[in-house]
Structure 1
Amino acid sequence: MKSNTSTQNKLYMIGNAHLDPVWLWPWQEGFQETKATFRSALDRMNEYDDFIFTSSSAQYYEWVEKNDPAMFEEIKLRVAEGRWVIVGGWWVQPDCNIPSGESFVRQGLYGQRYFKEKFGVTAKVGYNVDSFGHFGMMPQILKKSGMDYYVMMRPMPNEKGLPGRLFKWESDDGSSVLTFRILFEYCSWSKDLEKHIRRCETELRAPFDQLMCFYGVGNHGGGPTKENIESIKRMQLEDETAELVFSSPNDFFAEMEERQLPIPVVHDDLQHHASGCYAAHSGVKQWNRRAENLMAAAEKMSSIASWTTGQPYPQDYDRAWKNILFNQFHDILAGTSIESAYEDARNEYGESLAIAARGLNYAVQSLSWNIDIEEEEHMKPIVVFNPHAWYSRVNVEVEVGGLKDEHILVDDESRAVPFQSVQPAATCSGRTRLSFIAELPSLGYRVYKLTMNPSVPKSSASPIQASDYTLENDRFRMEFDPQTGYIASLMDKRAGVEVFRDLAARPVVIEDKTDTWSHNVFHFNRVIGQFKAESMQLVEHGPVKSVIRVKSVYGNSRLVQDFTMYRELDQIDVKATIDWREQFKMLKLVFPVNFIFTRQSYEQPYGFIEREHNGEEEPGQAWIDYSGITREHNTVYGVSLMNDSKYSYSIHNKEMAITMLRSPIYAHHDPLVPSPNGHYSFIDQGIQIVHYSILPHEGNWETAGTVMRAAELNQRPITVIETYHKGSLSQRDSFLSVDQDQVVVSVLKKAEDSDDLILRAYETTKSATRAVIRLPKWNRIIEADFGPCEIKTFLIPKNADAPVRETNLIEW
């Protein structure tokens, strides 16, 4: 019999079942295991009156609701009773580095609303126990989604030191959530739990003498077993070290709040675990980036068309988002699942992309069809839409038919616009691909016209200076090394700055014999080779841009990089086509930078973070920046690297790098050592295309437009080849604008519960500001104070007499 003791030591026993719906098995198996796990938890509740079960992820409940309605009703009763505790509040437990900021918002939007609709509750505790790291802006998103608390496990103590198991995690806007790092494991074996409990008891130290202990068979589901529960009951009578109580994270956090403990504050992202996951499986990461951005553009244009022309807002956007959210599950998006799982992921992302493309097309063609375009023989109107809420000056490429030598391009004011023909998609006569620089109104459109009107003078623009080895416009001169094909010099003529200190855009091959996750590996730096140029050629040269194509080879792999310099734009765009045939190797593009006293910034979801230049592999979104002081003039200067599909970077001293790919075995997990004679399937074999941009800039990235340029690379202009017709819309218009460049409107969508609109914006530079957002067509002006990196959401009623109001991320 347990003796009387004055200790306050307590372990809150958290019965759970970690369910990976996809990992070493396909989603269909995860579907079945979800039902089996939920059935087991309900059976344990029938057998033990004090047993409490904790579970997350709205997707699992939707599966059960649609496949076993009777069991779903049982769960509803247990939730109402308080013994089945819903946590997480998200659609799944996603990778917590790679999705966009808006994807994390939608995890909560769809998860919390589902739980409220079906069970009458929302989650109070964020819950990502197996995700491989956690971006630093997450506290704000959790807080504004109704969750004041958070449970995580990775990185573990050997991967990141934290001041305690319990801490306040704070993001740059000042939001904080009380956070708990799980002791040892989120799951347990199916037998007696005494050893597990004993090791957890060693972590009890006053005043933090009450902690959570997670138990239950997991990964492939399962949950607490009879033997688990019986062993806890036995130890409740015998254990003199700590009180053991069946409980939930909700109760634990409530008790910790009441105790008013001296809780430390952590203001940082939580890294690093499984650093190889930032780059593993280029395909799923590219599908994810494309789907997120196409959905964002589609929602914005569908919202505008709905309120402008009456075009019905698509009803299937929620299906598209749920596909995206499910495939952001941490073992799918991280690249660590079996090969066949990525066929399913490709199909679901494909469905989302098709839904988004269809909705976007309905929207822009509804708008373009209502533009008043005059009749003119041989004239071909091109309507160009800007999906961004800022004035945008971008390269537009569009395929047209019937182009003649007499055609010239003009804008809506009949001013000639330089254009050039580039290689079309079709290898046949009669089709041409045009390239021109468009100047586009903020979240609006502009009509350009191919005309043969003899009264309009042709553009007199001349090409930049170019050869097979050099490109030079008014701002930059770029030279290539003829032997290697690397950038030998990038000179900013205006600033008098040599951007790179050595050969740049260098394709470096690194030995990488780690498993799919790269467990316990933080640096990838064993260089074993480099691609070398086979040929270099000026392949495009006209009044808009010039392009040098560098073809390189390494082993059986090939790399083609098309370097583009524009006459009018201050960035270098690169299209990289990689045909990768290597195994147990990694490819990085390396850029040695020529600055001192530097700071290194990485985009993270709905924010950014500064990190050391220690060479560690780091997660990032669409851009990184390296800024400092120039050696030549002692002035502030920097360079941003932006891309459309990569998330893994490293900066070692003065060398910044994008990790383009790595090729481990699919779903290979240490400590298993692959047989030298084994036959395995390797990731990232074959062809992939990546677009990246180099943006040198005077001053820092905050004033250089890095955030906007990266967004333009990922959400490109939309074009519609029109005809002449009468209409109520003008040939150039803007529907939304913001007076502060540092405030970005990321979302314009239909509200979940009405035909009103939801507008979301965030501050990008960690600097408080007051912004004015205008929607002139509806006489709406929103004035708002933004804190550093603050996300704000506004509901704009369709009823013009009703005021705009700020709401949370769940739209409540």
Structure 2
Amino acid sequence: MHDERKILELRIRRILVEVLRPAVHAPAQRLEVSAHHLDGEPVPASEALARDFTPFQVGDPWGNAWGTTWFRMTARPPASWAGSVLEAVIDLGFTEGRPGMSAEGLAYSAEGSPLKGLHPTNRWLRLTDDYDGSAELTFFLEAAGNPHIEDGLAARELGAGLGAAPIYRLAVADVAVFHQEVAELVLDIEVLSELMGELAEADPRRWDVLYALNRAVAAVDLEDVVGSATAARAELRDVMRSPAVASAHVLTAVGHAHIDTAWLWPLRETERKAVRTASNALDLMRRDPSFVFVMSQAQQLAWIKQNQPQLFRDLQEKAAEGQFVPVAGMWVESDTNLPGGEALARQFVHGKRFVMEEFGTEPRGAWLPDSFGYSGALPQIMALSGSEWFMSQKISWNRTDVFPHSTFLWEGIDGTRVFSHMPPVNTYNGKVTGEELARAVRNFREKGKARHSLLPFGHGNGGGGPTREMLGRAHRFADIEGAPRVRMASPQQFFDDAAADHADPPVWTGEMYLEMHRGVFASHLSTKQGNRRAEHLLRAAEMWATTAAVTAGAPYPYDDLDALWKRVLLFQFHDILPGSSIEWVHREVEEEYAVIAERLEAMIAESLRVLAGEGNVPLVARSAPHDAAGATSAAIDAAPPRDEAAVTIAPHAGGYVLDNGMLRVRIDDAGLVRSVLQTATGREVISPESPANLLQVHPDVPAQWDAWDIDRYYRDSVVELDAATEGMEPFEDGDRIGIRVRRRHHRSTFVQTVALRPGAERVEFGLDVDWHERQTLVKVAFPFPLRATTSSSETQFGFIERPIPENTSWDFERFEICAHRYLQIHEGDVGVALVNDSTYGHDVRRTVSPAGTTTTVHLTILRGPTFPDPRADEGTHSLTYWLVPSAHPADAVAAGYAINSPNRPLTGAGPVGPLVTSHNPAVVVEALKFADDRSGDLIVRLYESTGTRQMASFEWGIPVTEVVENDLLERDVDGRRVLGGEPFAFRPFQIVTLRLRRAI
């Protein structure tokens, strides 16, 4: 019996592959081809079609890396094909097996309108549904020579710009008769074969299907495949019509195409990928009214509107009909660990607002299948934006721990809960195969309590999205015995049904940590520095522009700020900000960050100039995160007199002692910090076990995913840079006094500084690196004599507490963690924070010796991954970090703002008071701006920063008639108002947005 099954399955497979599939497009005839090769960047179709085309043959080379070739293709079919459906079949030399990682094409009409994308798994283009027997059929094809970039690629030019030599050959360019009935037979056999493969050998259903398939292929006339296709399909009718069981799982199949906004291709190529994919989806929507397609990134929709306005209008029409669903709840599918709080809020503001303005609907969820872990602050941000649900899939990539839920409530750090779903099919590039459906049922965590899950299907990353074959499979799996039911519907329909399905969903609390891709907290430091600086400059520019407008009547730069925010949000895409794109992407982004910073600095300077007037009184913009008038400042005041104790520096045992009356810092003869003594308490901050500010260098060769991953095994080998290889010297920089030490490791040099300021209870560290190592990880270690059990890492609008002991596999796998501006540990009321101006990767470890427990905090400084950018991180870098001896979160918060938004000296005519003052330092003013509706109202965003319940009252520096609570999109929240100076209650980490209606 087993041998008979194998023989029949092999026979069915052979006829499918060798007889039926080739007959779908037959007969075929070569197209007449001519070509035009562009020398540089892409040009619009209107320009390309007007250029000269020269004869081109199948087999000729085309397409240098990242280049573009335009083909003109003409069919002159014979009269005998009259009445037939004709399709072009094109193979540009596609790389098999990696759709989206190869050449791609977009077909245009003779008039220059986009028709449909052509891809490795989607090679057809409908030319006519009813050939008249005489017409000449012409179309144009914009072919992108995108290189197939693999791990270990050595050819750096493929990531840096246009390559020199052609990398593709045109393999097929035919016009063929398309036979619908043969195509349907092929799908029938494929679906039943996949279904059969998932059934147990002892299941009678498997044998019913097998023998039906055998009868079907026996009915195929090898001399007349087209004519016998209907009879062959008839043999399958009964097994196709046998329905699924009543209790079958229900999969909602949603067409989508996850297009990385940049990754192994530059940003400009994503603009074209989005058009190709949307063209394909639109073609399918027109052919199948049940097909629903989603796009999740407003930026990509904005590019389509800009580059192909007619295509965008067609999508708007399909959105009105319910077939196209812009689930763009964010500007891009951003990383959610690395962006700052206000930036993550603006992702939702700009994404949702674009959809609401352009499509007339509000996205009700967040669609983030591929971001590298999910911040515990996200549920509150989503809810405040009006998002009701969350979808992701990436946590299924965990290497050790299986996420315990498919459908659940996700509770954020403030207690907000959002209905969430992790599709158990464990892919966001589904093909609607029998194996995928069986996998989804097998992995579904809530069996017996619910029976709905989501199946996102379509080739991503420029692979073209869903195909007509996928839709055909979805229809066949709609109601068939032995499989779950499949329906095509919108994400909202799924979430509505899933919510009705779950009377009491399980709850996941806090961040969703991905047990992979931990290296993205450190890769491409310059990109991360550009983002951090841009975030704080945007905050400063908004606050100062608001102050200048309200106080001095300056015009508010709405449009400039809007455009700059959108560029910064774009660069927070989950393969840009994490540092996991090709060199071209990071070079372009870092150059643009410099331009953004220059524009914002000029905007701030203009606001300060307006405020300062013509006087010459020395003033300073003071940093104070709980007040706001501009930048991170509370006000512009006359500079206070300096009466703090001066910093002293004295030689000691070959090293130095720094003292400012608050801290006494001892530095040894190698330039390492051996002691930080708090003068008032006599407490020692640094463990006697080892020095602080110690650079540690590790080999960094993860098992895979070079720029993405750090494997725990890096700890097996370390080189400590504990010698002052190029000398040590005192220095003075304004009121900062300290020592400078130079070190070398192989081809790289490090310059470290340690300094104190008068009156500041912190130690300031600087690091300048000229970095030229590959596959090497650099950390800096700070050992503290504390038996800390948790670390508190700043995240958006709060912090995340993580266990330090590794009691569980979840703790063990969390060996590299993300923190924003600070990470703090404490033992009772004794603690310490490390704050930084540009890095995100950290780890915290404990050791025990006879002297007691030491908890060591490491900042991850640099890496040197070789894929996808072989030169990642090479060059010079400068960063700053501070040691702040304090156990109170408010001190860490204040220091985090201070290090990232330093005071701005200026001259002016007199003091300018703060527009907003929070009288509780735990409640931080995160944003102050004019309302986006240009009503003249002010928007103030505040949050509770310490993780405790607080009461806060506010003082307005301007006449205010009414203060109303808003959501993130600046819409009134019913029933929530703050009047006058009445105290306002904050729950831990609560975000509150207030609209100040002014008396003008």
Asked if Structure 1 and Structure 2 have the same fold, meaning a TM-score greater than 0.5 normalized by the shorter chain, the answer is yes
Q: Which has the larger radius of gyration?
A: 2
Matched, 1:202 2:386: no
Report the CA distance between 1:83 and its aligned residue.
1.4
Partner of 2:174 in structure 1? none
Q: 1:314-353 deviations in whole A, cap 9, x for unaligned? A: 1310110000000000011111100011122123323322
Aligned CA distance change for structure 1 residues 229 and 459 (closer, same or farther; 3 Å): closer
Partner of 1:313 in structure 2? 556
Partner of 1:7 in structure 2? 247
Given the alignment, which residue of 627, 652, 656 partners 2:857? 656
Q: 1:487-537 deviations in whole A, cap 9, x for unaligned? A: 111122322211111211100001101243444835642333122213221
Given the alignment, which residue of 263, 288, 291 partners 1:51? 291
Partner of 1:386 in structure 2? 622
Matches within 5 A, 1:702-713: 702=889, 705-713=891-899
Report the CA distance between 1:19 and its aligned residue.
0.7
Q: 1:183-224 deviations in whole A, cap 9, x for unaligned? A: 34444366x722222222323422232111121101235111
**Residue 150 of structure 1 contacts residue 177 of structure 1 at CA under 8 Å; is this kept in 2?**
yes
Aligned CA distance change for structure 1 residues 18 and 211 (closer, same or farther; 3 Å): same
Matched, 1:616 2:815: yes
Question: Could you say what secondary structure the match of 1:497 adopts?
Answer: coil
Aligned CA distance change for structure 1 residues 391 and 476 (closer, same or farther; 3 Å): farther
Matched, 1:760 2:941: yes
Matched, 1:474 2:715: no
Report the CA distance between 1:259 and its aligned residue.
2.7
Aligned length: 708
Matches within 5 A, 1:171-570: 171-188=412-429, 193-204=433-444, 205-272=447-514, 273-314=516-557, 315-369=559-613, 373=615, 381-386=617-622, 388-390=624-626, 443-448=634-639, 462-467=646-651, 468-482=655-669, 484-501=670-687, 502-514=690-702, 515-519=705-709, 521-522=711-712, 524-531=714-721, 532-534=723-725, 535-540=727-732, 544-570=735-761
Report the CA distance between 1:174 and its aligned residue.
1.9
Matched, 1:772 2:956: no
Aligned CA distance change for structure 1 residues 97 and 522 (closer, same or farther; 3 Å): farther
**Residue 115 of structure 1 contacts residue 122 of structure 1 at CA under 8 Å; is this kept in 2?**
yes
Distance in 1 between residues matched to 2:330 and 2:646, nearest whole Å: 54
Q: 1:642-695 deviations in whole A, cap 9, x for unaligned? A: 010000000011111000011111317xxxxxxxxxxxx231112100011110
Partner of 1:790 in structure 2? 990
Matches within 5 A, 1:596-615: 596-613=787-804, 614=806
Partner of 2:97 in structure 1? none
Report the CA distance between 1:478 and its aligned residue.
1.1
**What TM-score do the two structures reach when normalised by structure 2?**
0.68
Aligned CA distance change for structure 1 residues 344 and 357 (closer, same or farther; 3 Å): same
Distance in 2 between residues matched to 1:139 and 1:200, nearest whole Å: 25
Distance in 2 between residues matched to 1:319 and 1:541, nearest whole Å: 37
Partner of 1:587 in structure 2? 778
**Residue 480 of structure 1 contacts residue 486 of structure 1 at CA under 8 Å; is this kept in 2?**
yes
**Residue 707 of structure 2 contacts residue 866 of structure 2 at CA under 8 Å; is this kept in 1?**
no
Question: Could you say what secondary structure the match of 2:958 adopts?
Answer: helix
Aligned CA distance change for structure 1 residues 441 and 113 (closer, same or farther; 3 Å): closer
Report the CA distance between 1:714 and its aligned residue.
0.4
Question: Could you say what secondary structure the match of 1:56 adopts?
Answer: strand
Question: Could you say what secondary structure the match of 2:460 adopts?
Answer: coil
Partner of 1:114 in structure 2? 354
Matched, 1:163 2:163: no
* More displaced stretch, 130-139 vs 470-479: 470-479
Distance in 2 between residues matched to 1:536 and 1:77, nearest whole Å: 69
**Residue 2 of structure 1 contacts residue 240 of structure 1 at CA under 8 Å; is this kept in 2?**
no
**Residue 508 of structure 1 contacts residue 527 of structure 1 at CA under 8 Å; is this kept in 2?**
no
Given the alignment, which residue of 919, 922, 945 partners 1:742? 922
Distance in 2 between residues matched to 1:83 and 1:173, nearest whole Å: 36
Aligned CA distance change for structure 1 residues 336 and 506 (closer, same or farther; 3 Å): same
Distance in 2 between residues matched to 1:67 and 1:541, nearest whole Å: 51
Question: Could you say what secondary structure the match of 1:50 adopts?
Answer: coil
Report the CA distance between 1:78 and its aligned residue.
1.0
**Residue 16 of structure 1 contacts residue 55 of structure 1 at CA under 8 Å; is this kept in 2?**
yes
Matched, 1:66 2:66: no
Distance in 1 between residues matched to 2:539 and 2:437, nearest whole Å: 47
Report the CA distance between 1:385 and its aligned residue.
1.3
**Residue 244 of structure 2 contacts residue 484 of structure 2 at CA under 8 Å; is this kept in 1?**
no
Higher helix share: 2
Aligned CA distance change for structure 1 residues 63 and 159 (closer, same or farther; 3 Å): farther
**Residue 627 of structure 2 contacts residue 914 of structure 2 at CA under 8 Å; is this kept in 1?**
no
Distance in 2 between residues matched to 1:520 and 1:581, nearest whole Å: 19
Question: Could you say what secondary structure the match of 1:169 adopts?
Answer: strand
Report the CA distance between 1:160 and its aligned residue.
4.3
Aligned CA distance change for structure 1 residues 749 and 234 (closer, same or farther; 3 Å): same
Q: 1:43-95 deviations in whole A, cap 9, x for unaligned? A: 10111121111221111111111111111111111111111112141100001
Question: Could you say what secondary structure the match of 1:294 adopts?
Answer: helix
Aligned CA distance change for structure 1 residues 186 and 520 (closer, same or farther; 3 Å): farther
**What TM-score do the two structures reach when normalised by structure 1?**
0.84
Distance in 2 between residues matched to 1:76 and 1:599, nearest whole Å: 50
Distance in 2 between residues matched to 1:148 and 1:732, nearest whole Å: 42
**Residue 425 of structure 2 contacts residue 437 of structure 2 at CA under 8 Å; is this kept in 1?**
no
Aligned CA distance change for structure 1 residues 248 and 522 (closer, same or farther; 3 Å): farther
**Residue 627 of structure 2 contacts residue 918 of structure 2 at CA under 8 Å; is this kept in 1?**
no
Report the CA distance between 1:234 and its aligned residue.
2.0
Question: Could you say what secondary structure the match of 1:251 adopts?
Answer: helix
Partner of 1:410 in structure 2? none
Q: 1:349-372 deviations in whole A, cap 9, x for unaligned? A: 2332233222211111100016xx
**Residue 17 of structure 1 contacts residue 218 of structure 1 at CA under 8 Å; is this kept in 2?**
yes
Aligned CA distance change for structure 1 residues 254 and 772 (closer, same or farther; 3 Å): same
* One-letter amino acid of the counterpart of residue 388, structure 1: A
Aligned CA distance change for structure 1 residues 287 and 732 (closer, same or farther; 3 Å): same
Distance in 1 between residues matched to 2:553 and 2:733, nearest whole Å: 44
Higher RCO, 1 vs 2 (CA within 8 Å, ≥6 residues apart): 1
Report the CA distance between 1:387 and its aligned residue.
5.1
Segments of structure 2 that go 5 or more residues without pairing to the other structure are: 1-240, 807-813, 847-854, 962-979
**Residue 317 of structure 1 contacts residue 355 of structure 1 at CA under 8 Å; is this kept in 2?**
no
Distance in 1 between residues matched to 2:501 and 2:789, nearest whole Å: 44
* One-letter amino acid of the counterpart of residue 864, structure 2: S
Partner of 2:193 in structure 1? none
**Residue 255 of structure 2 contacts residue 456 of structure 2 at CA under 8 Å; is this kept in 1?**
yes
* One-letter amino acid of the counterpart of residue 659, structure 2: E
Distance in 2 between residues matched to 1:208 and 1:164, nearest whole Å: 12
**Residue 430 of structure 2 contacts residue 455 of structure 2 at CA under 8 Å; is this kept in 1?**
no
Report the CA distance between 1:162 and its aligned residue.
3.0
Matched, 1:640 2:833: yes
Report the CA distance between 1:463 and its aligned residue.
4.2
Distance in 1 between residues matched to 2:423 and 2:382, nearest whole Å: 18
Q: 1:143-169 deviations in whole A, cap 9, x for unaligned? A: 011111000112225454433111100
Q: 1:31-52 deviations in whole A, cap 9, x for unaligned? A: 0010010011111011112111
Partner of 1:454 in structure 2? none
